[in-house]
Amino acid sequence: MTTSAEWELVIGLEVHVQLKTDSKIFCGCATSFGEDPNANTCPVCLGLPGALPVLNAKAVELAARTALALGCTVQPVSVFARKNYFYPDLPKGYQISQFDRPIALAGWLPAGPDARRIGITRVHMEEDAGKSIHDRFPGWSAIDLNRAGTPLVEIVSEPDLRTSAEARDYLQRLKEILEYTEVSDANMEEGSLRVDANVSIRPAGSETLGTKTEIKNMNSFSNVERAIEVERLRQIGLLERGERVVSQTLLWDADRGQVRPQRSKEESHDYRYFPEPDLPLLALSAEWIEAQRSALPELPAARRERLQSAFGVSAYDAGVITADRALADYFEEVCAAHGDARVAATWVMGEVLAWLNNNRSAIRDFPITAGRLARLLDLVRDGTLSRTAAKKVFDLLLHESGEPRVIAEREGLVQVSDDTALEIWVDAVIADHPAEVERLKGGEKKLLGVLVGQVMKRSGGRADPKRVNQLLAVKLGG
């Protein structure tokens, strides 16, 4: 009998990504969110007879950019096809998608702790369907077609993923790329990124794929991870009881932590695909494709490498900082203005991230500009502020717009390193602690630290501890 440790999990992911265009893929209707139901519609996206689709050039550009960022080959010619099925929120009775000739093929994405290459089979373009609303009017279902015709790309991976954690990491890396390339908001909660997981198991060492099920309705990365794990155990249970896995679509129920069958799985021939007769072939020139490639920004993996090699940031810190493009931009601005990348990394990873996490905010809402933070760090480097005083100024900068130096002076936090001022405190401490001074002179060197501490206390933390140390040593012959 095969034990659960001897089953290998095989996962492939299909990710639908809403492209960030102003208008729909085949008509001029707005893609804006939150309008009145059916406000963003016209004869084309309502599927009225005789209305003709016209392809949105911006959507093609964003789809190509997505594919190129994933290392895919953009095809010189691709074909739109009708995928026929009936659904109340699909008024045409078919969805315009791409079938045997998608816009791009054969890419990959590094995922998991060892950055294994996960193959990407294809990227294709398609239109979104509308929405059925079942809970607004008791006894009635309503249709909102505002979303019908929103441009999507579907990114289909090879069945290369082996653990639910690796699948989650793949999604995280993919989301980063979508954000860096600015092709999508890639927000799972808002539905601009949707994931379906194909899951099967097989005895470890087997080359044959087991029967797969498809899980839908997962609305966060952690739910994808949980759902795959639940399905893995369900399939192992079936096979170990001598039953078989049925090919079907399953819905994830996050509240119950269960999957439940939705319908038996369709095969592609069920959709009776055929080339869309109302649209020409999509022909992209080599020059156009190269122009899209050269317009790509630096991608997250390359940026992680650069932060480590050029700035000496640790691998862990580089991973955290580059996970959000805007945060990485902020970090690089602080570095450029201040000059010391390690210090900048310490503050961004520490104080800045702590504030963002506590306030559940993004870096664009962070009240301290990169320039102001850099000038605060300058004050620590040149000895004007101690690290403790700098932290106090940082807290004030969160709530007011002044310059760090001005605020530090106003609050009396500027470090005193002028000997005349320091000697007043040093002499007073020596006079107040004759016993300690005697023992120090007698060889108890560790008492020097105690006396430095007393001077710091007397100065309200403003004395420069290094200079105080030197002055005491000189005066007491240490």
**Cα separation values, 326 from 303, 318, 320, 322, Å:** 12, 13, 12, 8
Whole-angstrom Cα distance, residue 220 to residue 187?
Answer: 9
Applying CB under 5 A, which of residues 10, 17, 25, 29 lies at the interface with Zn ion? 29
Quote the least distance from Cβ 51 to Zn ion, whole Å. 9
Quote the least distance from Cβ 128 to Zn ion, whole Å. 12
Q: Looking only at residues 115 through 174 of this chain, which bind Zn ion when binding is defined by CB under 5 A?
A: none
Q: Of the two residues 152 and 413, which places its CB atom closer to Zn ion in the complex?
A: 152
Stretch that binds Zn ion, among 23-31, 254-262, 276-284, 331-339 (CB under 5 A): 23-31
Asked if 218 touches Zn ion (CB under 5 A), the answer is: no
Quote the least distance from Cβ 98 to Zn ion, whole Å. 20
Quote the least distance from Cβ 44 to Zn ion, whole Å. 5
Quote the least distance from Cβ 148 to Zn ion, whole Å. 8
Comparing C-alpha atoms, which of 286, 292, 264, 279 is closest to residue 97?
Answer: 279
Count the residues of the shown chain that bind Zn ion, applying the rule CB under 5 A.
5
Applying CB under 5 A, which of residues 9, 11, 17, 45 lies at the interface with Zn ion? 45
Applying CB under 5 A, which of residues 10, 19, 25, 27 lies at the interface with Zn ion? 27
Stretch that binds Zn ion, among 21-29, 95-103, 105-113, 241-249 (CB under 5 A): 21-29
Quote the least distance from Cβ 124 to Zn ion, whole Å. 21
Q: Of the two residues 44 and 195, which places its CB atom closer to Zn ion in the complex?
A: 44
Q: Of the two residues 52 and 291, which places its CB atom closer to Zn ion in the complex?
A: 52
Q: Of the two residues 107 and 151, which places its CB atom closer to Zn ion in the complex?
A: 151
Stretch that binds Zn ion, among 27-35, 162-170, 375-383, 400-408 (CB under 5 A): 27-35
Q: Of the two residues 82 and 467, which places its CB atom closer to Zn ion in the complex?
A: 82
Binding mask 50-79 for Zn ion (x = CB under 5 A): ------------------------------
Asked if 42 touches Zn ion (CB under 5 A), the answer is: yes
Quote the least distance from Cβ 39 to Zn ion, whole Å. 11
Binding residues (CB under 5 A) for Zn ion: these are: 27, 29, 42, 44-45
